[in-house]
Amino acid sequence: MSKVLVVEDSVTQREMITDLLKDSGLSVSVATDGVEALERIQGHRPDLVVLDIVMPRMNGYEVCRRIKADPKTQSVPVVMCSSKGEEFDRYWGMKQGADAYIAKPFEPQELVGTVKQLLRG
């Protein structure tokens, strides 16, 4: 079973994304900010990370850069999922190394489909 780390500071969003991914047959762990996310990734490398951008302590752009800069984690796909939906935000997210960018609010099947596609490689 593929392991997905959901990094999201909003309880509502975190629970919704977690439920969606669990319902589609994935194992999900969570982190509430960027610092906690990096700690979790070092402890148990996930197969994929769903990453919010606007969070306390460390934003999603910085987390993504660190994941992609570390040889142990650079191959882990990162899906940025953010309310920052402008074209520039999408561009900047991809520039930081994100493998996909989904703007909130999103369609559940868009998130699940993107995650499954990246997990298949």
Strand locations in the chain (E): 3-7, 27-31, 48-51, 78-82, 100-103
**What's this model's pTM, rounded to 2 decimal places?**
0.95
> Does 102 score more than 90 pLDDT?
yes
In this predicted structure, what is the pLDDT of residue 84?
Answer: 83
Residue 86 CB coordination number (10 Å) = 9
Mean of the per-residue pLDDT values for the chain? Answer: 95
Amino acid (one-letter) located at 18: T
In this predicted structure, what is the pLDDT of residue 42?
Answer: 93
Where does the pLDDT of residue 85 fall: very low under 50, low under 70, confident under 90, or very high at 90 and above? confident
Helices (H), 1-121: 11-23, 34-43, 60-69, 87-95, 108-120
